[in-house]
Amino acid sequence: MKLKTLEITGFKSFAERTKIEFMPGITGVIGPNGSGKSNIIEAIRWVMGEQSAKGLRGDKMADVIFGGTTQRAPLNRAEVAITFDNTDHYLHSEYSEITITRRLYRNGDSNYQINGVNVRLKDVYELFMDSGLGRESFSIISQGRVESIFSEKPIERRSIIEDVAGVYKYKQNKDKAKKELVDVHDNLTRVADILYELQDRVEPLAQESAKAQDYITTKASYDKLDQSRIVLELLDWYQEKNQLAASITTNQAAYERQKGLVQDKKEAIEKLREQRIALNQEQQSYQEALLSHIQQIEKLTGKKNLLAERHKNRTETIKTLQDRLALATERLAVIDHSYEQCEHELIVQTEKYEHYQKLIQQVATTHPRTKLSELNQNIEQVRQALITTMQDLTSAKNERNYLAQENERSDAESLRLKKRAAQIKQRLTDVSTQVNEEKTATKAAEQNLEEAKQAFEITKKEGQRLEQQRHDVREAWFTKMAQEQRLSTRLQSLQHVAENYDGYYQGVKNLMKAQSNFTGIQGVVANLITVQEEHKIAIETALGAALQHVIVINEQVAKQAINYLAKHRLGRVTFLPQSTIKGRHLSDYQLATLNQLEGVIGIAADLVTTKSEYQNIVANLLGTTLIVTDMNAAIIIAKQLQHRVRLVTLDGQVMNAGGSMTGGANRQHGNGLLSQKTEIDQLINQEKTLHAEVLALENQVKQTDHELTGTTTTFNNQQQRVLTLNEQVQTQKANLQLAQANLEQLNKEQTALQYDYHLVAGQQSQQKTVAENEQAVFELANKQQRLQQQLDEDLATQTQLQSEINQADQQLSDDKSALSKAEALVSSLEVRKSDLLTQKEAEHQQITEFTQQLDEFMKDGDDVKQRLSAQIKLNQDKKQIAQESLAKVQIALQNVEQKYVDLNEDLNIIQDTLNDAMTTVSKLNGRLGELKSLINNNEKVLETTYDISFEFAKSELLDLDIMTIRTKLKLLQKGLVEIGHVNIHAVEEYREVKERYDFLTQQQNDLIAAKDNLQETMSEMDTEVITRFKTTFDEIAEQFSKIFVKMFGGGQAALVLTDPDNLLTSGIDIQAQPPGKKFQQMSLLSGGEKALTAISLLFAILAVRPVPFAILDETEAALDEANVDRFANYLHEVNQRTQFIVITHRKGTMTQADVLYGVTMQEPGVSAMVSVNLTNLDETLVED
C-alpha cells in the first residue's frame, strides 16, 4: 500500500485547494519556518481521525479552518482528502483505491467519507485498526516524538514497546476485569451477610415446619379414613348399580347381536340381489355371444363355398386369357410394321409440306387447322391420362396383396407401442407425483429450516437480551442489598441506642434497664408519644427534659422506683403518676383570642399522638404551650395573650410566659430523642420497602435465571434442530434431483415412443384397407373406360376436322393443289402415325393386363381355403364354450333365486327377536336412571364435605373394613388434640426462606466461580502481555543494536530492562556507546547523540513492524551534517519497503529525496506548493 495524494482545502494556512502527489521513495517537504510545512502533517493526522485540538496546536477544533488574513476573508469550511493505493489490500477493504475525506464547518457540523460514502469516525478507526497506521502510530514521527524518547523515564519509555507489541487492549481488558472483580467481591460480601442472617432463621422455621407438617399429615390421614368410611357406606348402591349395568350390557349386547344379524341378513339379501342382476347380465352376454358365433360361422362358410366355385372356373378363364394374349401379340407386330412405313413416308411428305407452307403462311393463321392443334393437344392429354390410369390400376392391384401383410404388421406394432405408452404414462404419473412430493417436501423442509433459523436467531437474541437483563437485574439486586445492609446497620445501631437508652439521663437509663423489677412503669414520655416531622423540633423544645420523665400508674410505683434509685445511687428521675397528674388547658378567652390570630399552628398537646390513658399527662406537659410559625408571630401572639402563655416556634425558639425568650441552635441540632425515634420509625419503613424491593429483584433474578435456563435449553434444541433440518434439506434435495433425473429419462423415453408411434401412425395413415384398394381398382377401371371412350370421340372429331381442313384447302387455293395435296398427305400420315402409336400402346397395355391376370389365376388358392376352415373351426369352439357357460349361468341363477327367498324368511324371524330385546333394555335403563339419581345425591354430600368426587375417593379407598376405619378415626382425633395449635404457614414460610437461602447459596457459588474465572482471565492476559512484550522487546533490541551502528558509523547500543524479573512493570533503559566513547546511559549523551539514538530506536521499531509509509517531521533537526547524511542514506536504503514523507531543513536529507515540495507564502498567511522531481532532474543533468 502507498500514499498517493493529499488534497487540502481551507485547512489552516492552505486557503486554496492544494493537491500533493506522493511518489514511491522519499518525498521531501521544505520551506522556511512558518510557511505551513507542519500543517501538511497535521492535515494527515486530522483526516485520519485526530480529535485533540491541542494536538493540532489549537484551542478548539474550529481553529483548523482558515482564519483569514488582511487580504482574505475567513473560510467557513476545512476539508482534507487523503488517497491510498490499496491494490495489495493492506487495509482490510475490497477497494483497490481508498479515499478518506473529512470536512468541518464553523457551526460545528462535520462528516467523514470513505470513497464518497458518509461513514462514522468509528469506521475510520476500524479501517486503520491493526494496520500500524493511524493518527497516533509510528507512521507519523515528529521532532517532539524523538525528544520524548530520550527525555522520558524508563517506566514511561515502556509504552513505546507496548504500542508496538499491541498489548494495550489486553491491559484495558485487565483493568475492566479488575473493576468487575471488585464488584464481584462486594457482591460476595453482601450475599454472605444475607446468608448469615437467613441461617439463623432456617433452623427454627424447620422445627415449626416439621410440627405443622405432622399436623397436616395426621389431618390428611383422618380425612382419608373419613372419606373411606363414606365410600364404604355407599358401596352397596354402587354394587347394585354395577349389577344393573352388567345386566343392561348383556341385554344391550344381545340387542346389538340381533341388530347385527338383521343387518347381516339385509346385506346378504342385497348381495344376492346384486348377484342375480349380474347373472342375468352374464346370461344375456353369453346369449349374444352365441348368436354372434353362429352368424360368423355362416358367413365364413359362404366365403368358403364362393372360393370353391371360383376355383372350379379357373381353367377356362386361363385358356381364354392365353388366346387373347396371342391375338394381341400378332396385332402388335402388324402395327409396328405399318408404323415404320408411315414414319418413313411422313418424313418425305413433311419436307414437301414445309416448302409449300411458307407460301401460304399468312392464310394458315386463319385456317381451321388451328382447331386441329387444340384437338390434338386434348387428345394427347387424354391419352396421357389414359396411360397414367392404366399404370395406377396396375399399381393398385399390386398393392392389394401388400396391404394385407402391412396392415397386420402395423396393427401388431401399434398394439405394442400402446402398451409401452401406457406403462410409461403410468410411470410418468408416479414419478411426477414423486417429484411433486419431493418438491413439496423439499420446500417444506427449506421452509422449516428457514423458520428454525429465524426461531434460532430470535432465541439467540432473546438469550443475549436475557443475559444482559440478568446482569442488570443482578447488579440492581446487589445494589439494593447493599442499600438494605447499610440501612439495616443504621437501624440496628439506633435500635441498640434506644434499647440501651443511650442519651438519657443516668437515672432514667438505670431505671429503664431494671424496668422488669417493677410493676406499673409505663415508659419514658419520649417513647410513648408520636409527633409529625414538621412539629418534631418544636415539641422537643417544648418538652425539654420532660421527654425523659417516666410515666407510672400511681404514686406507690413512683415511690418504689425512687427508693431503688436512692438505695443503689443510680441517679435521679422525674415520675409522672397517672393517678395524680391532671391535664392543663388554656382558658376559653385565650382560645377565642387564638382563633383571631395569624401564625398559630396549634396547642402542643393537640399536635402529639399518644394512647388515651396518657392524654392527661400530655395535656399537663403541653396543654398550655402554643406552637407558632416563627418568632415574629410569637412576639405578636404573646402581646395579645399578655405574656401568660408559653410559645414555641417551629424552629425551636421559645417565648416564655412572662416575656423571657430562649433561642439559638446547637451544632448537632436534630439528634434529640424524638428525632431518634422518628428516624427509627422511618428506617423501619424504609427497611420494609427496601426488603420488598430486594425480594422483588431477587424474584426477577430467579425468573430471569429460569427464563435464561429455558432459553438456553431452547437455544440448544433449536441449534440441533437447525442442523437436523439442514441435513433433511440436503437429503430432500438429493431425492428431488434423483426423481427429476428419473422424470427426465422417462420424458425422453416417451418422446422416442411418440416418435415411433407417429411413424407407425403415419404409415397406417398412408395405407389403405383391402376394401379401399378394391374400390380403387374398380374406380380406376371405370376411369380407363371413360378415358378410352373420350379418346375415341376425340379421334372421331379429329377425323371430321381433318375433312373440314381438306375442304377449306380445296376451296382456298385451287391454284395450290400440290401444296394442299402435300399438306393433306402429311396430315394424313401424322394422324396415321398417331393412330398407330395409340394402337401400339393400347396393345402393349392389353398384353400387360393379360399377363398379370394370367399370373394371378396361376396362383394357388389353398392357403385361403385353409385359413377360412380354421376360422370356422375357431368360431364353432367358441360357440360350444358359450353354450356351456350359458347353461352354468342359468343353474347359478336358479340357486340365487332360492337363497333370496330363504333369507327373506330368516329376516322376518330375527326382526321379531330384535323388538323383544329392545323392550327389555328400555326397562333396565329406567331402573338405572333411578339408581343414578340416588347415587348422585350421596356424592354431593361427599363433595360438600371434602371437595372431592366419589370416583376419586373410591380410587383412594383403604383396604380396611368399616369397623377398623371408625376405630382409627377416634385415635387420630385424639392425636390432633395432643398436637395442639400449629402455624400452618410455617411450612410455606420455611419453604420460601429455604428456597431463598439455597438461591443465595447458588448465587454465592456463581460469584465465587466468576471471581475465579476473572482471576484466571487476568492471569492469562498477563501471560499474553508478557509473551508479546518480551518477543517485541527482543526483536526491537536486536534491530536497535544493528541500526545504531549504521547511524553512528560504529559503536554499540542496547535496550535494557530495568527489572527483567517482572516483565509486567519493568521499565526500559537505553545504553549507548558512540564511536570513541565508553558505554554509558542515554542521559549522559550529547543532544545530537541523544537525538540520533532515539531516531535509531524509531527506525528499529519500523524495521520490526514495517508500515507502508512514514512521515518524519524535522526528526533530524538536532543532527550535525555527517549524521544527517547517514540519516538520509539509511532512508534511501529502506525506502523500497516504506514510503517516506520528510519535512526537513537539512541539505543532506534533501539530496536523497526523489521529489521535493516547497512550501511558500507568496501571499502573507496563505501557503502554496511548488514541486521538483529530482530523479528526472538528475537524468536531465546527466544528458546535458
Distance (Å, rounded) from C-alpha 129 to C-alpha 346? 119
| Annotated binding-site residue? 35 | yes
Distance (Å, rounded) from C-alpha 818 to C-alpha 1005? 152
Task: Give me the long-range contacts of 867-873 (CB less than 8 A, separation at least 24).
Answer: 868/300, 868/303, 868/304, 868/307, 869/304, 871/296, 871/300, 872/297, 872/300, 872/301, 872/304
Amino acid present at 77:
R
1115 with 1151: CB under 8 angstroms?
no
Q: Kindly give, in sequence order, each residue whose CB lies less than 8 Å from that of residue 617, ignoring residues fewer than 6 positions away.
A: 525, 551, 576, 578, 581, 583
Residue 1023 exposure: Cα atoms within 13 Å on the Cβ side: 6
Measured in whole angstroms, the distance separating CA 568 from the mean position of its chain's CA atoms is 87
Amino acid present at 1006:
D
619, three cell numbers = 395535656
| Annotated binding-site residue? 338 | no
Q: What share of the chain is helix, strand, coil (3-state, %, to 5)?
A: 70, 10, 20
43 with 1169: CB under 8 angstroms?
no
Integer-rounded Cα radius of gyration of the chain: 66
In this structure, the number of other CB atoms found within 10 A of the CB of residue 459 comes to 21
Candidates 5, 85, 93; CA nearest to 47 is 5
Candidates 1169, 841, 941; CA nearest to 7 is 1169
User: Would you tell me the crossing angle of helices 673-766 and 985-1048 to the nearest 10 degrees?
Assistant: 80
* Residue position matching grid coordinates 389431618: 219
Amino acid present at 227:
Q
Q: Kindly give, in sequence order, each residue whose CB lies less than 8 Å from that of residue 297, ignoring residues fewer than 6 positions away.
A: 872, 875, 876, 879
Q: What are phi and psi of 103, to 5 degrees?
A: -125, 145
Q: Kindly give, in sequence order, each residue whose CB lies less than 8 Å from that of residue 977, ignoring residues fewer than 6 positions away.
A: none
In this structure, the number of other CB atoms found within 10 A of the CB of residue 568 comes to 10
Distance (Å, rounded) from C-alpha 536 to C-alpha 543? 11
1110 with 1142: CB under 8 angstroms?
no
186, three cell numbers = 462486594
In this structure, the number of other CB atoms found within 10 A of the CB of residue 131 comes to 15
| Annotated binding-site residue? 37 | yes
List 71's β-bridge partners, or say none. none
List 1074's β-bridge partners, or say none. none
* Residue position matching grid coordinates 445492609: 485
Q: Kindly give, in sequence order, each residue whose CB lies less than 8 Å from that of residue 1102, ignoring residues fewer than 6 positions away.
A: 138, 1110, 1134, 1138
Q: Order across the sheet with 97-105: list the strands.
A: 18-21, 2-9, 77-85, 97-105, 110-114, 117-119
290 with 883: CB under 8 angstroms?
yes
Measured in whole angstroms, the distance separating CA 897 from the mean position of its chain's CA atoms is 72
| Annotated binding-site residue? 251 | no
Amino acid present at 339:
Y
| Annotated binding-site residue? 685 | no
Distance (Å, rounded) from C-alpha 772 to C-alpha 9? 103
967, three cell numbers = 376405630
Distance (Å, rounded) from C-alpha 1003 to C-alpha 1001? 5
The backbone region for 1051, taken as left when phi is positive above 0, alpha when psi lies in -120 to 50, beta otherwise, is: left
Strands annotated E in 444-493 = none
Amino acid present at 344:
H
| Annotated binding-site residue? 1165 | no
Residue ranges of the annotated binding site for ATP are 32-39
Residue ranges of the annotated binding site are 32-39
